[in-house]
Amino acid sequence: MTLIAPTSPFLIDLCHGLRPDFQWGAATSAAQIEGASATDGKGPSIWDRFCADPGRINDGSNIDIACDHYNRFESDVALIAGLGLDAYRFSIAWPRVQPTGEGPWNEAGFAFYDRLIDALLEAGIRPHVTLYHWDLPLALHLRIGGWTSPGIVPLFADYAREVAHRFGDRVASIATLNEPWCVATLGYETAQFAPGQTSRATAALVSHHLMMAHGAAIKAMRGVCKTPLGVVLNHTPAFAAEPLEADRRAARIDDGLNVRWYMDPIFRGSYPADILEYLGADAPTVVPEDLALIQQPLDFLGVNFYTRNFISTQQPPKVAPGKQGFTDMGWEIYPEALTQHLVRISREYSPPPIFITENGMANADHVVGGRVPDQERIHYLSEHLAAMARAVDLGVDVRGYFYWSLFDNFEWNSGYTKRFGLFHVDYATQTRLAKDSAHWYRNFIADFKSRRTQPLAR
Ligand code: FCB
């Protein structure tokens, strides 16, 4: 298929409504890029253990080295700066700074993030920190059952307070959790992610503990820093495959499980009644104090958007049309859902300012003559920037956009088989190579900043 990206002037024109201080960035997470999994006192995480379990990771790989970012962060920051990015979103590995998830802090671990934050600031890049991007200290999982135990709530708040105390004055934002839906559902119900459990009731309990830990962490951090605080949620809107009552109902449940189960307690102080009913005996026991803890005022909402869910109840199920194709993950490319969804959540929840904290595609990239011609990614990126800009025109307050991901990296249970990066990584040599999409993104940002708006031939 030939994919033609809108020209940059067209897109720049479409982005006229974005704030002049709009932040352009890229995102990563600790477990996916750092490597150094047992270096300088880092404790193991549930992902170190999960990788060691045969059959869990598609290519049998692990995160011992990943992109070796721990040892290469200085040159990596130079690559970020070279793209002209304003902002960089990364996560702190909890077991690097507190090896067992409770008790003593690991100063060598904090020193790494200290150096990273300094390097970013020196390069003029705003650091956006996420506290939990899935690498739970293994010791906490083994001792108390990790997220299945309410005992994790005060421990996560202690960790959050310490990070806020140490780095709050230098970072641009702190998000508590990344995608709690993935943590709970993929980790405890479908076993695709660590720790690999298979109980719907456990997953529902975990999701409630995640929400409580989020609230407790926000409260703890408010006491020690003035940094903007928020949370990063999955936003995969559900579409009924056909105008059938059964499809509509199923789509509503899917939306409830993915979106409303997390947005409602945070912004409305309640769990959605239809999902409580759907879960029945598997629903967690919730008391009013829990909901009051969860509903903390936030300074921003992080929206991760990749695709839509296409819900069919027919046999065989209807498959998504994929008019713009599918990514290498098999995810349908459907950018208009981003516009619709941003408008919807703004109307329904009146959230604080939004950051698109992740958006990107896996593509079967190849190095060809020293280049990576990833036209598909340029198309995906430009279509989603256009979709975001349309939402802004419709009144949604979006303050920044982070492409997922800066580098090709460890894509969880897919191992190293899926490439999401702006930079291609040759894992044998750790060579980073800017893909065509990285050059495109750099040029786009430069054009946006110089507000080049040549007359358009439409
Ligand atoms: C998101 C995760 C991120 C990455 C992308 C592809 O769900 O937050 O770590 O794996 O998907």
Reading the chain (458 residues) residue by residue, the pLDDT tens digits are 334 354 578 899 999 999 999 999 999 999 999 999 999 999 999 999 999 999 999 999 999 999 999 999 999 999 999 999 999 999 999 999 999 999 999 999 999 999 999 999 999 999 999 999 999 999 999 999 999 999 999 999 999 999 999 999 999 999 999 999 999 999 999 999 999 999 999 999 999 999 999 999 999 999 999 999 999 999 999 999 999 999 999 999 999 999 999 999 999 999 999 999 999 999 999 999 999 999 999 999 999 999 999 999 999 999 999 999 999 999 999 999 999 999 999 999 999 999 999 999 999 999 999 999 999 999 999 999 999 999 999 999 999 999 999 999 999 999 999 999 999 999 999 999 999 999 999 999 999 999 744 444 44
* Own/partner pairs, 257-261, CB within 8 angstroms, 24+ separation: 257/181, 257/185, 258/181, 258/234, 258/309, 259/233, 259/234, 259/235, 259/345, 261/181, 261/207
What residue segments make up the domains of the chain, in order of their start? 9-451
Give the pLDDT score at 7: 57
For the CA of 411, the closest atom of ligand 1 is 10
Instruction: Classify 415 as helix, strand or coil.
Output: coil
- The alpha carbon of 362 and the centre of ligand 1 are apart by a number of angstroms equal to 11
- The alpha carbon of 304 and the centre of ligand 1 are apart by a number of angstroms equal to 8
Give the pLDDT score at 3: 40
> Which residue of the set 332, 358, 376, 411 is catalytic?
358
Give the pLDDT score at 451: 75
> Which residue of the set 179, 189, 376, 411 is catalytic?
179
Cα distances (Å, whole numbers) of residue 286 to 179, 207, 291, 316: 21, 12, 8, 38
Which residues does a 6 A CB cutoff place in the pocket of ligand 1?
Answer: 29, 32, 178-179, 182, 304, 358, 404, 411-412, 420
- Per-residue tokens: 130: 């996420």
- The alpha carbon of 307 and the centre of ligand 1 are apart by a number of angstroms equal to 12
- Per-residue tokens: 135: 């690498």
Burial call 182-212: b when 16+ CB within 10 Å, e when fewer? bbbbbbbbebebbbbbeebebbbbbbbbbbb
Give the pLDDT score at 29: 99
- The alpha carbon of 146 and the centre of ligand 1 are apart by a number of angstroms equal to 21
Fold of 9-451: TIM Barrel (3.20.20)
The pTM for the full model equals 0.97
Cα distances (Å, whole numbers) of residue 166 to 44, 162, 299, 334: 23, 6, 20, 41
- Rg, the chain, Cα only: 21
Pairing verdict, β 431-434 and 423-426: antiparallel
What are the backbone dihedrals phi and psi of residue 433, each rounded to the nearest 5 degrees, phi first?
-130, 125
Pocket residue to mutate for ligand 1, from 179, 403, 413, most atoms within 8 A of Cβ: 179
